[in-house]
Structure formats: structure tokens, C-alpha cells
Amino acid sequence: MSLAQSNDLPATEPVYVQGGIKRTLLQEVPLSDEFMLNVSIIEVPAGTHASPHTHPGIETGYVLDGEFDLAVEGRPDQRVKVGGSYAVPVDAVHFAKVRGDKTLKVLCFFAVNKSEPLATVDEKSA
């Protein structure tokens, strides 16, 4: 099976996903009939955090600015700073707690099932 080529479209306008958190889609790349790669910039304001949520696939990211504690259910929190990277397993409940006075800016890669929403808030933890 060969991978489909992504289009070279410019980034989309940012989408505010909750509170002041915004996601700017850079590209979507089909990986198969069932899966896609979503490449986005996620920005989370200083002093805030995302609601606990899951993704129908793997999330990995690289911190461009700011720092945060990554809370993944069943694991100790992981401090991630500029230049650091992380990975979140499929369907793991997780969230980012921004530290310091800078907005967190992360280049995120989501390899997900394209028939499901990119993120789902975990109502038990919210």
C-alpha cells in the first residue's frame, strides 16, 4: 500500500477548542483508508490547562515555546520544556498543565482513526 500525498494547503485559521486553547491545522495526511495523520500547532495560555481528554490514536508532540506538565492517567506527571517531546498512547486520558508565564506552543502529530473525533473530553475526569 502506498501513502497518499498530502496537499500543500496553507494552515487553517485557528480553532478554539476549549477556553483560550487554540489548534491550528497545518496538514492532514491520509495514512490508509482508516487512519490519517493530523499535524497541528496547539497553543495553551499560561496558567491554564486542557480538560482531560483522549484521542482515537497516538499523539506525539514537540514543544516550541513554554513548558508544561503532561498528566497521563496511570503515569507520573512528565515535565516537558522547549525542545522536549512526548508521546501519548491511544485512548489514554491525559491533559497539559501549563507552567510559568508563557503560552505553551506545541507542534502536535496525531495518527488517528479518521472516522472518530480528533479529541473527546473525558467526562469522568472533567
The arithmetic mean of pLDDT across residues 102-110, rounded, is 97
Write out the residue range of the structural domain in which residue 73 sits: 15-114
Q: How many domains does the chain have?
A: 1
Residue 84 pLDDT: 98
Q: Is residue 60 part of a domain?
A: yes
Q: Is residue 125 part of a domain?
A: no
Decide if 24 contacts 40 (C-beta within 8 A). Answer: yes
Of 14-18, 43-47, 118-122, where does mean pLDDT reach its minimum?
A: 14-18
Residue-wise pLDDT for 52-101, tens only, equals: 999 999 999 999 999 999 999 999 999 999 999 999 999 999 999 999 89
Residue-wise pLDDT for 44-53, tens only, equals: 999 888 889 9
Q: Is residue 32 part of a domain?
A: yes
Q: Is residue 69 part of a domain?
A: yes
Q: Please, is 47 exposed, middle or buried when counting C-beta atoms within 10 Å of its C-beta (0-12, 13-18, 19+)?
A: exposed
What CATH number corresponds to the domain at position 77? Answer: 2.60.120.10
